[in-house]
Amino acid sequence: MKISVIGTGYVGLVTGTCLAETGNEVICVDIDVNKIENMRKGVVPIYEPHLDVLFERNINAKRLKFTTSLKEGLDHGDIIFLALPTPEDEDGSADLRYVLGVADEIGQLITDYKVIVDKSTVPVGTAEKVHEVISKNAKVDFDVVSNPEFLREGFAVDDFLKPERIVIGSSSDRATELMGKLYKPFVRSGNPIIIMDEKSAELTKYAANSFLAAKITFMNEVANYCEKVGADVDKVRIGMGTDSRIGKRFLFPGIGYGGSCFPKDVKALHKSGKDEDYDFKILEAVLKVNKKQKLALLPKINSYFESNIKGKTFALWGLAFKPETDDIREAPALDMINELLANGAKVKAFDPEAMDNVARKMGDKIEFANSMYDVLEGADALVICTEWSIFRTPNFNTIRELLKNSVIFDGRNLYDLHDIEKEGFSYYSIGRKDIK
C-alpha cells in the first residue's frame, strides 16, 4: 500500500519505518529541511534500539522516502498518518495547533479519496475537529480515523511490529477496511484489531496511560507506607502481582514516572475532565503524589548527612527517564539534580545515552563523567536515578574504593538488601528497610 506519514518525531519515524518493513511504500514528511536531508542520507535523528537497521534496509530498498512537501506526501499516500506534536499547553491541555494547521492545508491540497489517521495522542473529539477543518476546503470525499499508538520508548520497534492490540476508531466501512488491510501483517499471532468509534479510541489511549501511571503511583504510595510500618515493598509487590487480576507489570516502586507520555497524558485527561465539568479526583492525586515522589530520596540523603549537604558532591547514575532511551523529558533525575544544587551540593553524573541532552539543558551546572566508575571518584555518595542494566551488577569493591563514604541512595531498588548489607554499604532505597 502507499502510505504517508506527516511529522517525523518519535512516533512518525517508528510508524513510517515499520510500515515500510512490511512492504508498503512510505513517504515521511517534515518541515525541518535539515532533518529531511540527514534522513535521506540514512541518519536516524533519535536513539531507539533496532530502528537504525530497519531504517537503512528500507531506504536502500527505496520503500522509505522523505520530503518537505506536504503536497507530495498527500498525493502519494492512500492512508495519511498525522504524527504531529501535541505539546502541553500552559493549562495542561493538549495543544492542537500543529494537527489542525496540517488538517487545514490538507483540505486545500486534497484531490482524491484519502484516509486521514490521527496517530498523535489527542483529546476526545479531535477526529471530529480534524474532519471539520478539512471539510472547509475539501472538494472530494475523505475519512478521518483515530489510531492511537501504544509504543514504549526503547521497545517501540518491537511494540509496533508485534502489538498486543491495534485500536481503530472509525465510523466509515471504507476506511476501516483499508486500515484492517494495512495492519493485518502485524496481528498474525491472533492479537486483535479492535474497531470502535473515534471518540472511544481517543479516550482509550488516555485511559490506558493514566491507568498505568496510577498503578505505579499506587505502588509508590504503598512503598512509602511500607517504610512507616517496617514492611518490604518488594515482598508486597510480588504478593499482589501474582493475582492475575492485578498483574506483575508496572508495579515497581521508585522515584516516580517520567517521560513524554505519562506526565502529559495524565495532565491532559485531568484537564479535559475539568472542561466537561468532571473532576477526575484520582488523576489529581496521581499528579500530586508523583511530583513529591521524584524527591523521595531527599529526606534520606538529608538525614544521612545531618541536613548539611552544602559543598558535598553527589555522583548520579542515570539521567534518562528510564533505561534504553536518551529521553530526559520529566526525568526524575532532573528534579533530584535541581534540588541538590539548590541546597548547595555539587553533582557529577553518568548516563549511557542521555548526557548530551542534559548538558544542552543544564550547561555547566553539573559535571559529567565518561564511565559509571569515573563519576564516583571523590564523591560523597552515590545516587541511582535510572535502572540501566549495567548498574545492576557493579563491582562493589571499586565503588567502595572510589566513594568517600560507602553509601548508596537507590531510587530504583536495584540491589538485594542481604547482598548489599554483606558488601558493607549504608543503603537507602524505596519502600524497604534502610541499612544504616
Interacting residues toward ligand UDX by CB under 6 A: 149-153, 209, 212, 216, 250-252, 254, 257-259, 261-262, 321-322
Nearer to ligand UDX, 25 or 149 (CB): 149
- Closest approach, Cβ 305 to ligand UDX, in A, equals 26
Nearer to ligand UDX, 79 or 167 (CB): 167
Is 169 a known ligand-binding residue? no
Distance CA 130, CA 144 (A): 7
Is 153 a known ligand-binding residue? yes
Which residues lie closer than 8 Å to 229 by C-beta, 6 or more apart?
Answer: none
Catalytic residues: 261
- Phi, psi for 315 (deg, rounded to 5): -95, 125
Beta bridge partners of 3: 26, 79
Distance CA 434, CA 436 (A): 6
- Closest approach, Cβ 434 to ligand UDX, in A, equals 20
Give the CB-nearest residue to ligand UDX.
Answer: 261
- Closest approach, Cβ 317 to ligand UDX, in A, equals 14
Nearer to ligand UDX, 59 or 156 (CB): 156
- Closest approach, Cβ 191 to ligand UDX, in A, equals 15
Is 228 a known ligand-binding residue? no
Is 160 a known ligand-binding residue? no
Nearer to ligand UDX, 73 or 154 (CB): 154
Is 163 a known ligand-binding residue? no
Please enumerate, by residue number, every residue annotated as part of a binding site for substrate: 150-153, 205, 250-254, 258, 322
Please enumerate, by residue number, every residue annotated as part of a binding site for NAD(+): 30, 35, 86, 121, 153, 264, 329
Please enumerate, by residue number, every residue annotated as part of a binding site: 30, 35, 86, 121, 150-153, 205, 250-254, 258, 264, 322, 329
